[in-house]
Amino acid sequence: MQLNLEKTQQIGSQPLETSVLATDNDLVALAEKLSELEVPLKVLLQALAIAAYDKAAAYRYADNYLNNLKKQEQLLLESSSNLRDS
């Protein structure tokens, strides 16, 4: 049985995060998340490769990519709107 939560251990005064592998269902959910927007195949494959070792890191990677993509799209929409208004 695989855990779905990230464990935290303590070594000295530094916390050490142990990675949790993604299950098949996690990989499907990650792929669905990345298909919200049009992303390059390379990004999807990179996220899946990360998930093979660390599920939480793969979701952070996907979230960061999607957030940056959404910001870029918003900036493009705002700039094109400003051009039309002037």
List the chain pLDDT tens, one digit each, 86 residues: 344 444 555 556 666 678 888 999 999 999 999 998 889 999 999 999 999 999 999 999 999 999 999 999 898 888 877 777 76
**Which helix (H) or strand (E) segment is 9 a member of?**
strand 7-11
- Domain of residue 69, residue span: 22-85
Residue 50 covered by a domain: yes
Residue 29 lies in a domain: yes
In a domain, 7, yes or no: no
Is 4 a domain residue?
no
- Quick check: is 64 in a domain? yes
Q: What is the pLDDT of residue 64?
A: 97
pLDDT of residue 83: 72
Number of folded domains in the chain? 1
Residue 17 lies in a domain: no
Residue 13 counted as domain residue = no
- Bridge-partner residues for 15, per DSSP? 10
Question: Is the residue at 43 inside a domain?
Answer: yes
